[in-house]
């Protein structure tokens, strides 16, 4: 029995899928992947800081003139999808 029909699959967002997988997957693997995301964020923040751009980032983060809204959503979705893929492949 298939609990999802094709319409359900197409309507779930990468974010929703991430949280669904994060709730049901092996929690040690989920924690490890979230730790990897935090590590990437820490590196990105360090790069901004070293280049003297951290204050500029903080000022512009609300309006994000440096990135198109669609590109921003695509980047977020890509990270959700990538992380789900890593979690799922480690749980197999």
Phi-psi region of 64 (alpha: psi -120 to 50; beta: other; left: phi over 0): left
What are the pLDDT digits (tens) for 38-58?
999 999 889 988 988 877 777
Q: How many residues make up the chain in this entry?
A: 92
Please state the pTM of the whole predicted model: 0.74
φ and ψ at residue 10, rounded to 5 degrees: -75, -20
What are the b/e assignments for 67-81, b being 16+ CB within 10 Å? eeeeeeeeeeeeebe
What are the pLDDT digits (tens) for 79-88?
999 999 999 9
């Amino acid at each position: 029995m298939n609990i999802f029909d094709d319409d359900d699959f197409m309507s779930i967002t990468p974010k929703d899928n991430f949280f669904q997988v994060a709730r049901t997957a092996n929690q040690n693997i989920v924690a490890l992947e979230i730790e990897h995301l935090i590590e990437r964020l820490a590196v990105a923040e360090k790069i901004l800081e070293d280049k003297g751009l951290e204050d500029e980032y903080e000022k512009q983060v609300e309006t994000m003139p440096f990135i198109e809204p669609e590109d921003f959503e695509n980047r977020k979705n890509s990270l959700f999808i990538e992380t789900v893929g890593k979690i799922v492949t480690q749980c197999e």
